[in-house]
Structures are given as structure tokens and as C-alpha cells.
Amino acid sequence: MQKIINDPQTVVDEALEGFVKANKHIVEVTDNERVIKSTEAPKKGKVGIVTGGGSGHKPAFVGYVGKNMVDAVACGEIFSSPPAMMFYDAFKEANGGAGIACLYGNYAGDNMNVKMAIEMAKGDGIEVKTVVANDDVPSAPKERLEDRRGVAGEILMWKVGAAKADMGASLDEVIAAAQKTIDQTRSMGVGLSPCTIPEVGKPNFTVEPGKMEVGIGHHGEPGIEVADLEPSKQIAKRMVDLLVPDLPYEAGDDVVVLVSGLGSTPPLEQFIFFNDINALLEEKGLNIYRSYVGDYFTSLEMAGITLTVLKLDDELKQCIDYPADCWGLTQFGK
């Protein structure tokens, strides 16, 4: 295992400690050392934005805690949902009295733990509503949208929900905007090499040399097909051909494009891929309103790339353009 660590059992705790120290201008640790909050949270009268999930996806989830982004996050073990208590503590840390929007991804563990945490919060009179991201197209057919898992589209869901909350929206308005965002978002990825959970000590799946896993999940879940590794242009075409008809996106639509490396695919390759995506989407008559290219949602050191496309309307444009400051995504406006 080629890793710069001290002890496989404490990777999450040590990384979080370092993360908080390095970003003390935007985040701070709470009484629960696995719950990290924005230095500005809780804001009185503002809807609190909470998320959480397994670790190993940096910048997700903790990297999206900050100004006009997520208020508090629950950080589980590598690829494993945080326990209910952690979500509950995150709700309390983000609670400004206007309710909590818990915006997270569709995984069995997270669903159960969030559900139990909401029950716990009821006892404190904290109202929690959820949006469960399900943007990963290859993870289930369109008839079973509710079975799809949440992937990098979650970032755009947080961005919109958090902007809306800062504009003074009510809990229901924040939830509606976040739900609309994920409903209008589609994602998919390809994996070129596996990753290793430090405590397991060996790769969690295999990709033969010269092959790629089409539709891979953020934890190495197998996709829809193992194919020969193709040039970027063809990978881009596969993805666009699957994503565009699924919503569907139509000529004239304004879209946000988010391309993320999965951990060990360098920016050089990411921009080659984006260039191909850009051409294909333009061919279909889509207007790319804004793009994000980088390591936005990774899976430890997996090689591969994901594409996320969000169809915009005026409300979503306003939220996407809203300033935000966190380690994973900083922007000063449009």
C-alpha cells in the first residue's frame, strides 16, 4: 500500500484534524470531533444546511463546509455512513432556528442514519427536511429513479440550497430549490483503476489494464459495462449519449457542467476530457453557462472521471452565481 499515513485505523481522525487546522479561517471542530461546522454557523434565522457521508471523497464532504455553503457536516469512516448521532449533532450545530435542510446522497446507510437522527432532533424541536441526491444515471434505470445513488451532483445541490438559505428563503423554499437542482442533474463516471481503503489494505476491486469500468460508483461499485479503454473523445461521447436523453436536455438549455477527477486522474486529462464534452454539448445545442473542472468529488486514489450536467432556470442561475467560500469551491460571483 503506497500511502502517506501513520496508522490505518486513524486516517479519518488525523486527516480531519489537519483539515480543520489548515482551514481555520472557514471551519471549526465541534464537541463531536467528527462534526465540522462553518465558523459562521449557526446563523440566527437562517435555514441550516447539513450533509454527511463516508470519508475518502475529498473535497466532499467536509471541503464544502463554509460561507454560503454547507453549515455542518457529519464525517463517517472511509466509505461508510456516519452514525445517527453524528448527523444529529450536525443538525444541532447548524440550527439557527429556521429549520435544517439535510442534503445528502442516496445510500442505504445514510438513509437509515439520517432517518434516526431526524427522530432524535424532533425531541429538541428542530425541524429537519431532506433532499436525497440520486443523480448517478448508470446506477439504476429511469423507472427506478429513487434507487439511483447520489454522486457529484450533490455539490450543485449544496451550492443552490445554501445560496437560497443565505438569501433568506424558508426551509420549504430551500428544500424545493435543492430538490429541483438534483431533479435536473445527471451524472456518470468511468473508473480506470481501483482504490484501497487503508484499513482493508488492498484494492477493493480490479480493473484489468487496458479496460475501464463504465458507470462506476463512488465506492468502486461496478457499473454497467467493462469496456476497452477508449480515447477521451469516445468516453465523452458515451457519457453524453447516456446523460442527455435521460433528463432529457434539449437544444437551447443553459447548463452547468461539472467534471471531476476520481482521485488520481490529473488535471491535464480532466481538461482534455472537458474539451471533448464541451464540443459534444455544443453540438447538441446546449449552452454551457458555467463549468467546474477539477477534483471535486473523489474516491481515494481511484483513476477515472465523472461528468455532471445541471439544467438551469433563472432561479438556479442566481444560486449558482452566488458567492461561496469553502475549501472545495470558492467563487466571488458570476
Binding residues (CB under 8 A) for other proteins: these are: 54, 76-86, 107-109, 112-113, 115-116, 139-140, 147, 149, 197, 199-200, 204, 217, 219-222
Residues 49 and 128: their CA atoms lie apart, in Å, by 10
Q: Minimum Å distance from CB 305 to other proteins?
A: 19
Q: How many CB atoms lie within 10 A of CB 263?
A: 19
- Minimum Å gap between C-beta 75 and other proteins is 10
CA distance linking residue 316 with residue 246, whole number of Å? 20
Give the Cα separation of 194 and 220 in Å (integer): 7
- Our CB check for other proteins shows the closer of 16 and 160 to be 16
Return d(Cα 122, Cα 47) in angstroms, integer. 16
Residue at 130: amino acid letter: T
Cβ 59 to other proteins, closest distance in Å? 20
Cβ 220 to other proteins, closest distance in Å?
A: 7
b/e for 183-192, b at 16 or more Cβ within 10 A? bbbbbbbbbb
> Which is closer to other proteins, CB of 84 or CB of 312?
84
Active site annotation includes 219: yes
Closest CA to 68 of 310, 291, 289, 330: 330
**Catalytic residue selected from 34, 37, 46, 57:** 57
- 121 in helix, strand or coil? helix
Q: What is the DSSP letter of 146?
A: G
Amino acid at 119: E
Q: Active site includes 218?
A: no
Nearest to 121 by CA among 96, 98, 72, 87: 87
Catalytic residue among 58, 129, 219, 311: 219
Question: 79 vs 273, which CB is nearer to other proteins?
Answer: 79
CA Rg value for the chain: 19
- Shortest approach of other proteins to residue 186 CB, angstroms? 16
Instruction: Indicate the residue among 136 and 276 with the shorter CB distance to other proteins.
Output: 136
CB of 78 or CB of 192, closer to other proteins: 78
Give the span between the Cα atoms of 305 and 314, in whole angstroms. Answer: 29
Q: Which residues are catalytic?
A: 57, 219
